[in-house]
Amino acid sequence: MPFEFKKLEIPDVLLIKPKVFEDDRGFFLETYKKDEFEKAGISGEFIQDNHSKSKYGVLRGLHFQKKPYEQAKIVRCVKGIIYDVAVDLRKNSPTFGKFVAVILSEFNKYMLYIPRGFAHGFVVLSDEAEVMYKVDNKYAPSHEYGLIWNDPDVNIPWPIDVPTLSKKDETWPTLKELIKDGVVF
């Protein structure tokens, strides 16, 4: 099997460990195989690939899209190292408001599957990082939203005290505000 799928503390979020074939020439791995992913419970059609490059200390997130444009993602770091986070925003979930975090890097070649109904973000731990991710729904700017990265109720232990943020990422609401405004899944 070319992949190992590991359930995390939030069982709907999966750590994907690809089988890597390495020799003195370099390496080869499969990054997506629809039938294998479907066997692991990752269904749906991924319709777009995205690629970002960021410098050390840049924190992107915590992002999601409101209904009906919510997105599932498969995230991987192709260069550098990131601390990758998914926060459960599904109000009827037993893990609502909880998060999982993993290190994704060019070295471990792991990927993270994040289903719809989650906020997602990462911070760069290397000099720079390039992140690629597949999504299963189109980007809709009018439905873009987020959760503030340092919400004390979520309490994510980010490994960088003072990250570099976009103006938008500095002003997202807290989880309590999302609940009050009815912007949870």
Catalytic: 63? yes
The per-residue pLDDT for range 35-80, each reduced to its tens digit, is 999 999 998 899 999 999 999 999 999 999 999 999 999 999 999 9
Q: What whole-number distance in Å separates Cα of residue 49 and Cα of residue 98? A: 27
> What pLDDT does 53 receive?
98
Instruction: Enumerate the H helices of 47-174 as residue ranges.
Output: 167-170
The per-residue pLDDT for range 68-81, each reduced to its tens digit, is 999 999 999 999 99
Catalytic position from the list 69, 83, 113, 133: 133
Mean pLDDT (the chain, rounded): 96
Catalytic position from the list 63, 69, 83, 145: 63
> What pLDDT does 104 receive?
98
The per-residue pLDDT for range 82-132, each reduced to its tens digit, is 999 999 999 999 999 999 999 999 999 999 999 999 999 999 999 999 999
Q: What is the mean pLDDT of residues 129-153?
A: 97
What does R_g of the chain's alpha carbons equal in angstroms? 16
Judged against a pLDDT cut of 90, whether residue 2 lies above it is answered with no
- Write down the CATH superfamily of domain 45-180: Jelly Rolls (2.60.120.10)
Q: Are 54 and 129 in contact (CB under 8 A)?
A: yes
What phi and psi, each to the nearest 5 degrees, are found at residue 19? -80, 125
Q: Are 136 and 71 in contact (CB under 8 A)?
A: yes
Q: Are 104 and 60 in contact (CB under 8 A)?
A: no
What percentage of the chain's residues is helix, strand, coil (to nearest 5)?
10, 45, 45
Catalytic: 110? no
Q: What whole-number distance in Å separates Cα of residue 96 and Cα of residue 180? A: 15
Q: What is the mean pLDDT of residues 14-18?
A: 97
Judged against a pLDDT cut of 80, whether residue 1 lies above it is answered with no
Of 63, 89, 65, which Cα lies nearest the Cα of 10? 89
Judged against a pLDDT cut of 80, whether residue 6 lies above it is answered with yes
